[in-house]
Amino acid sequence: MMDKNQNNAKQELTVCFTGHRQIAYGAAMKIPSLLDDVLTELCERGATTFRAGGAIGFDTVAALKVLELKERYPHIRLELILPCRNQTEYWEETAVRTYQYILNRADSHLFLFDTYFDGCMLERDRCLVEGSDVCVAFCKRSRGGTAYTMTQALYKAIENHMLSVMDDSAHDCEHVYRVLYNALEIARG
């Protein structure tokens, strides 16, 4: 017979983020609120670990939102899975300062490689998905690193939350998912 507490226990979930580096102003204004709603729901469901890849744009916004949520949910962890130590080499100073702020407050970080090379970002994307239960994404295109990461998550049957920020975003999300599922079917043969 199952103990009553076992039946109601929350499963600990690991959540990864993926999204575009460049985000239109209107979308950028909506994403923090959307993230707050999705991440609060995931924390209530048992999410304890959140993984970000340290890129400019969506990764940065998501990591900052996790740090903010730690005030309400002190048990959650921010893990950074970073492609290389020189990731910020060509970034603007304000972006580097924000990156350092997040890096210094993250619960852990892992540099996959010492220096950048073609393919290190995709390796980071695979590592973000590996071991995750949920993928929270801001994806407006069916090509590129974000679409690749979502395809990896779909391939591994990970739960996906795609943030919708524009009036026509339901159509955009449907199109992106359709393209990604078609790519997934081709990959599976």
Residue with tokens 């707050």: 36
Mean pLDDT of the chain: 83
Q: DSSP for 48-94?
A: EEEEE---TTHHHHHHHHHHHHTTT-TT-EEEEEEEETTTTTTS-HH
Q: State pTM to two decimals.
A: 0.81
pLDDT band at 40 (very low <50, low <70, confident <90, very high): very high
Amino acid at 55: A
CA 50 to centroid of chain Cα atoms: 8
- Evaluate if residue 97 carries a pLDDT over 90: yes
CA distance 10 to 48: 10
pLDDT band at 95 (very low <50, low <70, confident <90, very high): very high
Nearest of 111, 106, 104 to residue 82 by alpha carbon? 111
pLDDT band at 9 (very low <50, low <70, confident <90, very high): low
